[in-house]
Amino acid sequence: MVTVIRVPGVDNLRDVGGIPVGAARVRPGVLLRSGKLAGLTPAGRAMLSERVRRVVDLRDDAEVEAEPSVLRSVPITRVPLFLGSVGSFFEQNMDLAAMYRHLVDESARRLVEAVRVIAAGEPTLVHCTVGKDRTGVTVALALSAVGADRDAVVADYAFTASQLPVERNRAVVEYFRTHLTDARNAIQLATESPAPVMAALLAGIDERYGSVADYLQSAGLTDAELAALHDALID
């Protein structure tokens, strides 16, 4: 349903075009998602700059400073989603469900900022460090707001775990098992994208707000911006 894109130097890159929205589908080439862009090769930069016109970087200041994007030919909108450092979630031993609820509760206006860039209608790449959590929540909300098939949205999120580099995951697991007494949540935060977690997050938003669109509008997305998001994403 989604299209994996192989570009040298970036992991977990794909186009969510093709996801069903009622009788229609998400337009190909409009919304891409990935991990960080710090390792792009010159060939990778050329390939990606042909595909996208806007980038939304969801990482915090420390992450950007440590691994700055090398895709400089495309305008970048920075929207740091976590209020606090990424490391704080590991220190608090949060699981994924709790971290996503934190994002939805504490970063609603920032999520709207990211969705506004997508709604502008230019081919947009949304990314964080590995393209799993912040990217996963943002893309799931944007798709859900226009009525994309819920099972397909959840499946796109869950697909991420299969796209993370094996060596990276192995090193992460080894590190946490060595340095943390209870590493279960930390390993989940760093390497997993379980479908039930995203399904529960979206169901919880529906229960509390009525729909994902209502949630985003409660945080400042206007009727015109929601309509623009429909026009941008739906083929």
| pLDDT at 17 (0 to 100) | 97
Q: Rg of the chain's alpha carbons, rounded to an integer?
A: 17
Q: What local confidence, expressed as pLDDT, does residue 91 receive?
A: 62
Residue (of 2, 16, 17, 33) closest to 126 by Cα position: 33
pLDDT at 165: 82
Tens of pLDDT along the chain (235 residues)?
679 999 999 999 999 999 999 999 999 999 999 999 999 999 999 999 999 999 999 999 999 999 999 999 999 999 999 865 555 555 666 789 999 999 999 999 999 999 999 999 999 999 999 999 999 999 999 999 999 999 999 999 999 999 988 878 787 777 767 766 665 677 777 788 999 999 999 999 999 999 999 999 999 999 999 999 999 999 8
What local confidence, expressed as pLDDT, does residue 122 receive? 97
Domain boundary assignment for the chain: 3-233
Predicted TM-score of the model (pTM): 0.92
Please give the pLDDT value at position 182: 62
pLDDT at 84: 55
Residue 69, sorted as left (phi over 0), alpha (psi -120 to 50) or beta, turns out to be beta
Measured distance CA(210)–CA(229) in Å, rounded? 19
- Residues in contact with 222: Cβ distance below 8 Å, sequence separation at least 6, in sequence order: none
State the architecture of 3-233 in CATH terms.
Alpha-Beta Complex (3.90)
- β-bridge pairing 14-15 and 76-78: unpaired
Q: Cα-Cα-Cα-Cα dihedral of 176, 177, 183, 184, to 10°?
A: 110
Structure tokens at 196: 């039930």
pLDDT computed for residue 173 by the predictor:
74
Dihedral sign for Cα 215, 219, 223, 228, please: negative
The predicted pLDDT at position 222 comes to 98
What is the predicted pLDDT for the residue at 180? 63
